[in-house]
Amino acid sequence: MKKWIFSIIVLLLLGYGFMKYKAGIIDQSNEWQPPATNIDIPEAASQTGGFTIKVTKEMVFQGDLLLVNKDYPVPEGLNPESEAVSLVKNPELIDGFGVLDNTIQLSPRLADKFRTMVKAAAQEGVSHFLISSGYRSEAKQDELYREMGPQYALPAGYSEHNLGLSMDIGSSLAEMNQAPEGKWLKDNGWKYGFILRYPEDKTAVTGIQFEPWHFRYVGLPHSAIMWEKNLVLEQYLDLLKQQKSMSATIEGESYEVFYFSVTENNTINVPAYGEYEISGNNADGIIVTVRK
Ligand SMILES: [Zn+2]
């Protein structure tokens, strides 16, 4: 009986410590807002510093860093269609840019990221952006693939447009490789989490021709690291896996990025403190991004 009481007291004390720790973590959060779907609060402090997270295999197949290309299809079970909305039917989302036609779909979250970016461009006098493609259903991708052929389109499920994190951006002034909009995006997109996904000098890595119009959202600090090191997503994820961690400071914000292999549901220790978000790589692991 006494043992029981002792155990209960210990559990209560542990619970108190745990709640206090959680409160401490929450207090630290003030400005940075990671995507709502990825926000998480560390569950317990580890003895060695950092925090622990329970990871599941499903996490490998969710998040902003998923690699989608000819070898890695959009994961089954992910349902980007549920988030995509027609821009024309939601005109409040069209702000500071045009859309090519009434079939363009985007998730409100991505439209919001894009809007923030084009507002910054407008301040620098670059303001003729035109979205020509956003989220594409697999049926639409299949139609495109049949129409354009394998040289110009990926099969259904293997295009980033099916993932919902990419968009084809044009200019109403000129073709993107000549338009000020193309140059501005190529040079500045990384500050807003966007990357030119198929650059001219990386066709051997991506397997895709130079597409000055195709931009992918990966978020900060990843876009900044990729820009700085001149890496495409394939190379960045490989390097991260190899090095296990990277740090970056962007406009005074410090980040640490960790790769963890995930083969089964498990608990991992992240040796850093701060708010964090998680994304899978769509292959074998997760990336934990900590903003310190
Ligand atoms: Zn595209």
Rg (the chain; Cα; Å): 21
| pLDDT > 90: percent of the chain | 81
Average pLDDT (58-85) is 96
Residue with tokens 């402090």, as numbered in its chain? 45
Burial 147-163 (b: 16+ CB within 10 A, else e): eeeeeebbbbbbbbbbb
Q: How far is the CA of 197 from the centre of ligand 1 (A)?
A: 9
Model confidence pLDDT, tens digit, residues 209-245: 999 999 999 999 999 999 999 999 999 999 999 999 9
The predicted pLDDT at position 8 comes to 44
The predicted pLDDT at position 49 comes to 78
How is 185-247 classified by DSSP, letter by letter? HHHHGGGGTEEESS-GGGHHHH-S---TTEEEE--TTHHHHHHHHT--HHHHHHHHHHHSEEE
Q: Are strands 253-261 and 245-250 parallel, antiparallel or unpaired?
A: antiparallel
Which of 192, 217, 242 represents a domain boundary (last residue)? 217
Which of 217, 240, 258 represents a domain boundary (last residue)? 217
Q: Which residues have C-beta within 8 Å of that of residue 16, sequence separation ≥ 6?
A: none
Average pLDDT (106-116) is 97
Q: How far is the CA of 262 from the centre of ligand 1 (A)?
A: 30
Q: How far is the CA of 67 from the centre of ligand 1 (A)?
A: 14
Average per-residue pLDDT for the chain: 87
In this predicted structure, the answer to whether residue 1 has a pLDDT above a threshold of 60 is no
Among 33-37, 103-107, 112-116, the least confident range = 33-37
**140 close to 162: Cβ distance less than 8 angstroms:** no
* Total number of domains in the chain: 2
Average pLDDT (184-201) is 98
In this predicted structure, the answer to whether residue 44 has a pLDDT above a threshold of 60 is no
pLDDT band at 23 (very low <50, low <70, confident <90, very high): very low
In this predicted structure, the answer to whether residue 35 has a pLDDT above a threshold of 60 is no
State the amino acid at position 188 in one-letter form: N
Q: Which residues have C-beta within 8 Å of that of residue 184, sequence separation ≥ 6?
A: 121, 124, 126
Whether 154 and 179 map to the same domain: the answer is yes
Which tokens go with 273?
Answer: 């403190």
The predicted pLDDT at position 48 comes to 53
CATH number of residue 98's parent domain? 3.30.1380.10
In this predicted structure, the answer to whether residue 32 has a pLDDT above a threshold of 60 is no
Q: How far is the CA of 89 from the centre of ligand 1 (A)?
A: 22
CATH number of residue 255's parent domain? 3.30.200.180
Q: How far is the CA of 143 from the centre of ligand 1 (A)?
A: 15
- What is the pTM for the complete model shown? 0.83
Whether 202 and 264 map to the same domain: the answer is no
Among 25-34, 188-197, 206-215, the least confident range = 25-34
The predicted pLDDT at position 152 comes to 85
Average pLDDT (164-173) is 97
Whether residue 33 lies inside any domain: the answer is: no
Whether 49 and 94 map to the same domain: the answer is no
Model confidence pLDDT, tens digit, residues 118-149: 999 999 999 999 999 999 999 999 999 999 99
Q: Which of 211, 256, 275, 277 is catalytic?
A: 211
In this predicted structure, the answer to whether residue 292 has a pLDDT above a threshold of 50 is yes
Q: How far is the CA of 120 from the centre of ligand 1 (A)?
A: 22
Supply the range of the domain harboring residue 180: 76-217
pLDDT band at 41 (very low <50, low <70, confident <90, very high): very low
Under DSSP, the state recorded for 261 is: E
Whether 240 and 172 map to the same domain: the answer is no
Which of 217, 241, 268 represents a domain boundary (last residue)? 217
Whether residue 224 lies inside any domain: the answer is: yes
Q: What's the CA gap between 173 and 175, in Å, rounded?
A: 7
Active site residue 147: no
